[in-house]
A = this chain, B = another copy of it.
Amino acid sequence: MDLIFATRNRHKFEEVREMASVYGIKLKMYRGPREEIQSDKLEEIAKHSAIVACTALKRPCFAEDAGLFVKALHGFPGPYSSYAFKTIGNDGLLKLMAGEGNRGAEFRSAIAYCEPGSRPVVFSGNVRGYIASARRGSGGFGFDPIFIPIGGDGRTFAEMSIDEKNKFSHRAKAFEKFLKWYIQRKKA
């Protein structure tokens, strides 16, 4: 069984590919036209991306949008995490957090699945944690080197293997919900 993930991010693809294979699903990557709406809501962005990809492909597919929401920074960088990462990066975020007592943060993910002629269905996941005092680890991508999930052993996402990160991650949670719904629906 094939399933198309509309993304230009190889890291995201690798993270969920393994999870899909457990269910006998072969994931394919589709690097479609990049057109995202500008919204404060990940769900809206994911839905829009899924519709754009589905319209271009004329086949069922899903898209994902994620962001890091830092409490002391009022939700920054949030839905604009990708641009913030490309410009100020982990070091910029650490600089913004200098002297900040509250280091609480949350990664959120929204996955939108779309079939031609239908409205997209959305699945969400989140993981709470805190911003590390310095970058650690070389795995993952984006802000992973400075995010420590609650419930872990103090390592950042970038210090974990994909399997370890998936035990906590926002994306894995959203994808798990989606997969269960998808499998159930195929059976019905």
Contacts and interface: CB of A to CB of B under 8 A. Distances in A.
A63 B87 CA distance: 26
A98 interface: yes
Contacts of A84: 76, 80
Contacts of A86: 74
Interface of A: 35-40, 45, 73-80, 83-84, 86-88, 92, 95-96, 98
Given A78-B87, A79-B83, 15 more contacts: A35-B37, A36-B39, A37-B37, A38-B39, A38-B45, A38-B79, A73-B87, A75-B87, A76-B83, A76-B92, A77-B87, A78-B83, A80-B80, A88-B96, A95-B98
